[in-house]
Amino acid sequence: MRRILTLAQLVAWLLCAAAAVAQPAKDGNAVGTATSGTTVTLSATTTANPEIVFVGAAVIATGSTQPNLSIAGCSLSWLALGTPQKYTPASKGTAVYAWYATAASNLSACTVTVTSDQTIQSGSTAFCSFSGQNTSNPFDPNATTTPPTTLTNITSTSSTVVVPLSTNLAHDTMVAIAGQTNANMGGTTASSGATLCSGQTTNGALNFSNIYITYKTFTTPQTAFNIGLLASQNWWVLYGTALTADAPAGRSRIIQ
């Protein structure tokens, strides 16, 4: 026997269905800094699981050799987010890297260590985590965000430093990681509509290293949305991607 819903029941069902899909939400954030040695560390804590966690690093070496960076910590398997970028502005060896990992359980003040193969004169790291993504397919499948879009060696000094991202799915959270190794960018803020998750500027003996992570949530697919920072100066490197709570066509949606 077929059941006929009343109007009130139908409205309630539709509201519940709409509420069941929410964008991935920001959870933890942390920063690290170093002006000597070969490592930059931060303490990471999250309150939900599973989560996708991001770390960005900007490092200036004491000499002109471009440093190679690696990451370890929190018993996580870290993957590169885009292509690492190394360059030498003003005869300084510098590098900007970004990584991500899946944390299946809560992190409790565990240490994330970024290691350089060159001595550090200025190093900055930033951590940001998100919960509520589709655990089977956490990233939006749009080709411009998976693998991440990377913009390098931005030489203009405009007031915005952004990466344009496009998405296929509705309930997404865009994430941008921006690094710079040239000037004091302390006090940098997120681009229009975005929110700053974490950021660090470190004053070294020769110059400043800067790393910032911003994010923006959506309920509809986007075309070339600009996300990043409101910041002048040049030599920025940006990484952009998008987490999703939705499932690609033909796949099931699993949220935990």
List pLDDT tens digits, range 176-192.
999 988 888 877 899 98
List pLDDT tens digits, range 120-140.
999 999 999 999 999 889 999
DSSP string across 63-122 = SSSPPPEEEEETT---EE-S--EEE-GGG--EEEEEEEEEESS---SEEEEEEESS-EEE
C-alpha span between 116 and 246 (Å, rounded) = 37
pTM for the complete prediction? 0.87
C-alpha span between 215 and 56 (Å, rounded) = 14
Range of lowest pLDDT (102-111, 181-190, 222-231): 181-190
Predicted confidence at residue 209, as pLDDT, reads 94
Range of lowest pLDDT (42-46, 133-137, 248-252): 248-252
List pLDDT tens digits, range 77-106.
999 988 888 877 667 899 999 999 999 999
Residue 50, SS3 per DSSP = coil
Domain extents for the chain?
A: 23-244
Element (H, E) at 166: none
Specify whether the CB–CB gap between 145 and 242 falls below 8 A.
Answer: yes
C-alpha span between 134 and 155 (Å, rounded) = 37
